[in-house]
């Protein structure tokens, strides 16, 4: 979509404008709220970013991808406790097979793709690193190919192959 094209070109103000128009037409479009959250946080508009991803989480009934998006946005906004809560919830859904490896890997991929937009590259992984051993197994064991693409089969959870 056009907003994602703008995001990939690091034109977040243009993406925000498009996404806001989309949401005027369809205020229940979860993916637009997720993308809006990404663009807001990558332009330093943290309060608006959190509001957008919280809306996505609520509308999606706490779906895995929305939780991962919220985890990334909270981490990028410097809200470590909230980021960990979202990611732990996503981990629990993943372990119950209520969320996919793609849901888990998606925020890491966004982090890698927008490294130039973030003050601290690898922000989500840095936020999650150093937590106790019981937290965030899918992220702790994630292997990726230098930020190019993250695949579901590259996700490994402790105790699973």
Q: Residue 7's pLDDT band (boundaries 50, 70, 90)?
A: confident
149: region left, alpha or beta (phi > 0 left; psi from -120 to 50 alpha): beta
Q: Cα–Cα–Cα angle for 21, 123, 80, nearest 5°?
A: 90
**pLDDT greater at residue 25 or residue 127:** 25
Please state, in angstroms and rounded to a whole number, the distance separating the CA atoms of residues 142 and 55: 27
Q: What is the mean pLDDT of residues 106-124?
A: 55
Q: Which of 40-49, 72-81, 137-146 has the highest mean pLDDT?
A: 40-49
Asked if residue 89 has pLDDT above 50, the reply is yes
Are the C-beta atoms of 118 and 76 separated by less than 8 Å? yes
Asked if residue 115 has pLDDT above 80, the reply is no
What is the percent of the chain with per-residue pLDDT over 90, rounded to a whole number?
Answer: 35
**pLDDT greater at residue 106 or residue 8:** 8
Asked if residue 91 has pLDDT above 90, the reply is no
Phi/psi for 53 (5° steps) reads: -70, -30
Asked if residue 37 has pLDDT above 80, the reply is yes
């Amino acid at each position: 979509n056009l907003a994602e094209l703008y995001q990939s070109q690091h034109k977040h103000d243009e993406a925000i404008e498009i996404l806001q128009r989309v949401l005027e037409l369809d205020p229940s479009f979860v993916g637009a709220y997720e993308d809006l959250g990404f663009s807001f946080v990558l332009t330093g508009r943290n309060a608006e970013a959190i509001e957008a991803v919280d809306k996505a989480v609520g509308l999606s009934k706490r779906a895995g991808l929305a939780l991962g998006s919220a985890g990334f946005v909270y981490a990028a906004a410097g809200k470590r406790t909230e980021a960990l809560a979202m990611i732990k919830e996503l981990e629990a859904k993943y372990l119950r097979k209520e969320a996919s490896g793609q849901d888990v890997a998606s925020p890491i991929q966004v982090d890698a793709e927008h490294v130039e937009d973030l003050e601290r590259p690898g922000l989500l992984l840095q936020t999650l690193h150093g937590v106790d051993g019981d937290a965030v197994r899918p992220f702790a064991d994630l292997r990726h190919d230098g930020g190019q693409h993250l695949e579901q089969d590259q996700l490994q959870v402790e105790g699973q192959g």
